[in-house]
A and B are shown apart, each in its own frame.
Chain A
Amino acid sequence: MPTNVVMEALSPTMEEGRLVEWKKQEGDAVAVGDVLAEVETDKAVMELVARAAGTLLKHIVEAGATVPVSEPVAVIGSPGDDTGEGGKRGGGEAGAGQRGSGASGEKDRGAAGQRDSKESQGTQPSPGQSRPVSMPPAPPAGAATEHRPSPESPSGSKDNGVKSDSPAPARDQQAEPRVKASPLARRIAAERGVNLVGITGSGPEGRVVARDLEGVAAKAQSSTAPPPSRPAAQPYTDVPLSQIRKTIARRLAQSIGPVPTFYLTTEVDMERIWEARQAQLALSGAKGAVGKLESGEGGRDVSVSFNDITIKAVALALRQHPACNAWWQDDRIRYWNEVHVSMAVAIEEGLITPVIRHADQKTLREIAAESRDLAGRARERRLKPEEYTGGTFSVSNLGMLDIDEFTAIINPPEAAILAVGRIGQKAVGHEDAVVLRRRMRLTMSCDHRVIDGATGAQFLKTLKGMLENPLTLVW
């Protein structure tokens, strides 16, 4: 008696699949578990495997066809079995009986449901719970959960019995990975809308248990990926330390002082910024030299310094790299959804770091005006505490003192500080020639407990790109 091969639901949300390629041809012998075809689901290309042994008698659909879940795509049986209409409709007398029981779309669900009954019986299909032994998820609603003997298969129970022994082809590999989590952790995650994928479990074999979710904010993102860069209602997101993060923090702190710092240096071509700034100065009628303040009415004509430009670029780059806009909080990392740039200002007694709040949302002129004001009052020791606390990233500039490059000390709990050197002309390769270009060296000190090398480097790359293409600062 021939058995229909149906399009299976190879992902929880799959409603139809495109048969990409037949792996078994008509006439081929097939064993249970053999890959019959590749099927493209809504998520990935996966394998359709045989649930019955015999000979592949017929391809009901050709490669390339899109087939709804549960519709037959092929027939497996013994050579000589009638595969004509019978194959398509379930075959023989029994098939006729089944025709009477429902529409053709329904008719194969008995078989599918039967195969899946172990999965669907008494359990709620739940994403992330697909088993390593990868039987397809329960078919869509209406699937039978009882062991209805299938007219197409020689013996329903036999078919079913075979399944559990069949090797598990890696059919769920493309699906969301199964997360091991305690029932309580799953419940908490569901209540808070937290995706368990990416949360490092501290239980046996990485099981996520309730304590791993302590402090995970509601709506925390689906992984340890940094929070979204759009301004959020909550100013920051606390992410509890994963095991690897804890280990990195502990070991690196042992290695180098309380803040395990590493440094990244890049050199930025400032020629275009230079030109842009000169043009801007000319337009606003300023005659001053670099960095000189031209105060006008209401601060409208405040000239914009390279430091202001750097702050603005840093703020915008932080938007793209929230992983660098963070605080080390001992048991967690606070990823800020707001960007507050601290700028180091030298004063008589030492230095202080007034904060340009929401620097990413301010224009260059606003930043320029604010930084002048803050720096002025800093030197006069007239800053209020809230004006020099709460920064999320620091910028320290010694360029005006002719320093080529330096390393700055991180201002805890911030995770990084950018040391800005002078802008100077250098002979560099440019468009296939050695020419003099204005260059500036940036050195970023990173708290390795929060920021890894690549993370910091990516931020610097973005920052460099912005400074070398000044239009990005205004767009």
Chain B
Amino acid sequence: MATLTYRDALNHALREEMQRDPNVFLMGEEVGVYQGAYKVSRGLLDEFGPMRVVDTPITELGFAGVGVGAAMVGLRPVIEFMTWNFALLAVDQLVNSAAKMRYMSNGQVGVPAVFRGPGGSALQLASQHSQAFESWYAHIPGLKVVMPATPADAKGLLKSAIRDDNPVIFIEGEMLYNIKGEVPEGEHVVPLGRADIKRQGSDVTIICHSKSVGVSLKAAEQLANEDVDAEVLDLRTIRPMDTEAVLNSVAKTHRCVVVEEGWPFAGVGAQVVDTIQREVFDELDAPVLRVTGADVPMPYNKQLEKAAKSDPAKVVSAVNQVLYRD
């Protein structure tokens, strides 16, 4: 087991997949000469050359479209967005081309592309560059949405995403690139659509993904000091969602809090809650609560930004409510 950063785990996944399959190539802004805006693609230009590590102009709609076209004719592009905030310009290609092609061609033409980059907020990047868009893409039939929270999952899920025959929206965490974790050596593949219990518990299920996994684990530690045994379930793939894992956990604990970074309205948690109340209504001992980002454009002010984000204290408070401990 090697200890890697999330950034290097992604790098390893790209390198291994590019070594394995000559159809895999990387394209995006600053991915080549600059070695990646976040250095995820470090060393790849040297190893694979400019035909497979392609620097693009600042043209998100354009290179996303090139990626869709390349995928339609048999290549396996990995399209890097410097952040998902910039990918708003490419939404037409993602939603109207990538997601629809297989359906509208009656299955004749698929789009086996991965669109990846960091999502969510970092620190004081203000309203336009601090957005969590996973629920947007998860809304679209035809797209898969993957959000790893750990280095091991980052590597294993990116490899699966590249091998998947459908367009995959792969959202990384800007604040996660530097976290370290153990990553299995060699071929390490994490299947899409499979959640992971990051912490076993019996009193309450905390469902989360991406950065909120760390938030939830911290909350679980605090709760453990208060004799509350929280289970932390990392969705890992937002769509297709691992409904079975969610339901099994809730059926075990009877109480649930869903944590996410994004806005509350029609967020990922709303979908999770809907599933839970429909499928395991009789297992619930309390309403399912959600912890989300505040329903405002992300403030630039440091204190306001902090207040707008979900954090362990908010998770602990929600857990106390569903446990009727207040």
B282/A210 in contact, CB under 8 A: no
A183/B281 in contact, CB under 8 A: yes
User: A203 CB to closest chain B CB, in angstroms?
Assistant: 5
User: A467 CB to closest chain B CB, in angstroms?
Assistant: 49
User: A276 CB to closest chain B CB, in angstroms?
Assistant: 58
Q: Which residues of A contact B54 (CB under 8 A)?
A: none
| Residue A202 is within 8 A (CB to CB) of chain B in the complex | yes
The answer for the CA separation of A202 and B325 in the assembled complex, in Å, is: 10
| Residue B283 is within 8 A (CB to CB) of chain A in the complex | yes
A186/B324 in contact, CB under 8 A: no
| Residue A209 is within 8 A (CB to CB) of chain B in the complex | yes
| Residue B88 is within 8 A (CB to CB) of chain A in the complex | no
A202/B324 in contact, CB under 8 A: yes
Which residues 147-183 in A have Cβ within 8 Å of B in the complex? 182-183
Q: Which residue of B lies closest to A203 (CB)?
A: B324
A209/B282 in contact, CB under 8 A: no
| Residue A187 is within 8 A (CB to CB) of chain B in the complex | yes
User: A214 CB to closest chain B CB, in angstroms?
Assistant: 12
A204/B285 in contact, CB under 8 A: no
Q: Which residues of A contact B282 (CB under 8 A)?
A: 183-184, 186-187
The answer for the CA separation of A65 and B284 in the assembled complex, in Å, is: 46
User: A240 CB to closest chain B CB, in angstroms?
Assistant: 15
Contact with A along B248-290 (1 / 0, CB 8 A): 0000001000000000000000000000000001111110000
Q: Which residue of A lies closest to B324 (CB)?
A: A203
User: A261 CB to closest chain B CB, in angstroms?
Assistant: 33
Q: Which residue of A lies closest to B326 (CB)?
A: A204
Q: Which residue of B lies closest to A201 (CB)?
A: B324
A183/B324 in contact, CB under 8 A: no
Contact with B along A201-223 (1 / 0, CB 8 A): 01110000111000000000000
Q: Which of A182, A202, A204 contacts B284 (CB 8 A)?
A: A182
Q: Which residue of B lies closest to A202 (CB)?
A: B324
Q: Which of A184, A186, A202 contacts B254 (CB 8 A)?
A: A184
Q: Which residue of B lies closest to A185 (CB)?
A: B285
Q: Which residue of A lies closest to B254 (CB)?
A: A184
Q: Which residues of A contact B285 (CB under 8 A)?
A: 182-185, 209-210
Q: Which residues of B contact A211 (CB under 8 A)?
A: 324
The answer for the CA separation of A209 and B254 in the assembled complex, in Å, is: 11
The answer for the CA separation of A211 and B284 in the assembled complex, in Å, is: 12
The answer for the CA separation of A210 and B284 in the assembled complex, in Å, is: 9
A184/B283 in contact, CB under 8 A: yes
B324/A209 in contact, CB under 8 A: yes
The answer for the CA separation of A11 and B232 in the assembled complex, in Å, is: 45
User: A129 CB to closest chain B CB, in angstroms?
Assistant: 13
B284/A184 in contact, CB under 8 A: yes
Q: Which residues of A contact B254 (CB under 8 A)?
A: 184, 210
Q: Which residues of B contact A184 (CB under 8 A)?
A: 254, 282-285
Q: Which of A182, A186, A187 contacts B286 (CB 8 A)?
A: A182
Q: Which residues of A contact B284 (CB under 8 A)?
A: 182-184
Q: Which residues of A contact B281 (CB under 8 A)?
A: 183
Q: Which residues of B contact A209 (CB under 8 A)?
A: 285-286, 324
Q: Which residues of B contact A185 (CB under 8 A)?
A: 285
The answer for the CA separation of A204 and B323 in the assembled complex, in Å, is: 11
The answer for the CA separation of A211 and B203 in the assembled complex, in Å, is: 12
Which residues 280-318 in B have Cβ within 8 Å of A in the complex? 281-286
The answer for the CA separation of A318 and B138 in the assembled complex, in Å, is: 66
The answer for the CA separation of A186 and B324 in the assembled complex, in Å, is: 17
Q: Which residues of A contact B286 (CB under 8 A)?
A: 182, 203, 209
Which residues 206-254 in A have Cβ within 8 Å of B in the complex? 209-211
User: A217 CB to closest chain B CB, in angstroms?
Assistant: 20
The contact sample of 22 A-B pairs, CB cut-off 8 A, is A182-B284, A182-B285, A182-B286, A183-B281, A183-B282, A183-B283, A183-B284, A183-B285, A184-B254, A184-B282, A184-B284, A184-B285, A186-B282, A187-B282, A187-B283, A202-B324, A203-B286, A203-B324, A204-B324, A209-B285, A210-B254, A210-B285
4 A-B pairs with the lowest CB-CB distances in the bound complex, closest first: A184-B285, A187-B282, A182-B285, A210-B285
